[in-house]
Amino acid sequence: MENKRRQARVQGAWAASTKSQASAQPAITARSHLYPTHGHTWRNREYHLSDKEFVFKEPQQVVRTTPEPRVIDKEGVYEISLSPSGVSRVCLYPGFVDLKEADWILEQLCRDIPWKQRRCVREDITYLQPRLTAWYGALPYTFSRITMEPNPHWHPVLGTLKSRIEGNTGYTFNSLLCNLYRDEKDSVDWHSDDEPSLGRCPVIASLSFGATRTFEMRKRPPLEENGDYSYVERVKIPLDHGTLLIMEGATQVDWQHRVPKEYHSREPRVNLTFRTIYPDSRGTFAEKPQ
C-alpha cells in the first residue's frame, strides 16, 4: 500500500510540473512562427492602399503602312523622286502614234521582226524567257549568259520610229530591244537598266503597241532596309496602244520596273525600248538578267 501511495505522489509531481510549465511558457512551434494564422494576420495588421493608379501603356512601336501606288495615266512630265543621285523623272505621251498608224505598225512588227524565245541562265538555272525578243544595234547584247548578236540592219519602220522619237525628245539612241508579249502570261521581272555600258544616268524610251499592259515601278529601299521592298514607293503606268514613255535622270539608279503577268486575257503587245550603248574595252556591253 505504501508503495502505491509513493508512486501516486511521484506521478502527481510529474503531472503538476508539466502543467505548471505549460501555463508559464506557452509552446510556440516553428511552423506557427513562420506561418501565422490568417485571423491573427488580418486582425492585427493595418494595410494602406496606395493613392497611385496603375495605367497601362502600350509599348511604343513604329507603325508602317504600305503606301498606295501612284497612278500616272495623263500626259505630262513627272518627277517621282529626289535623292543624292538626282531627280528621277518619267515623261508620258499617250497617242504619240495615232491609232490608225499604230494598228498598221503593230501588224508590220508582228510579221517582220525575227522574234525568238531565248533561254536564260540565272543562279545556274536555265529557263525560257516569258516573252519573245529581238535586238537591233551595232554591238552584241549579252545578258543572263546568252548573247544576242549584232544586228545593224534596222527594219524601216523601226528606223522611222527612232528618228521620230529623237526629233521630239532631243535624245539620240543607237540600240533597240524589241519585246513581244504574246498574251497575259508573258512578262518581265523587276530590274533596272543601270549597267555601266549605258552611262551614269541612261535615258530609256519605251514605245508600246497593242494591248494595254501595266508598267510598274518601285523605288529601291535604303541600305538599312536590307532589300525590304515592303514599304517602298510604287508607281503604276498603264501603257496604251501608241504610247511613249521616257525614263530619265536617276530613274535607273533609284528605281526598278517590270511588266507583270495579268489575270485576265490580253492580246499581243509589242514594246520597243530605245537606248544608247557605250562600248567597253571588249567592244561589248551587258545588262542585268531579266
- The two most distant CA atoms of the chain are separated, in Å, by 151
- β-strand 234-239 against 70-71: which pairing, if any? parallel
Strand, coil or helix: 120: strand
Phi, psi of 37 (to 5 degrees): -65, 155
Residue with cell 501511495: 5
Contact 180, 268 (CB under 8 A): yes
Rounded to an integer, the average pLDDT of 102-110 is 98
Mean pLDDT of the chain: 83
State residue 194's pLDDT score: 85
Cα-based angle 174, 284, 182 (whole degrees, multiple of 5): 60
Q: How confident is the model at residue 155 (pLDDT cuts 50, 70, 90)?
A: very high
Lowest mean pLDDT among 44-48, 105-109, 167-171: 44-48
DSSP 228: -
230-266 confidence digits (pLDDT tens): 899 999 999 999 999 999 999 999 999 999 999 999 9
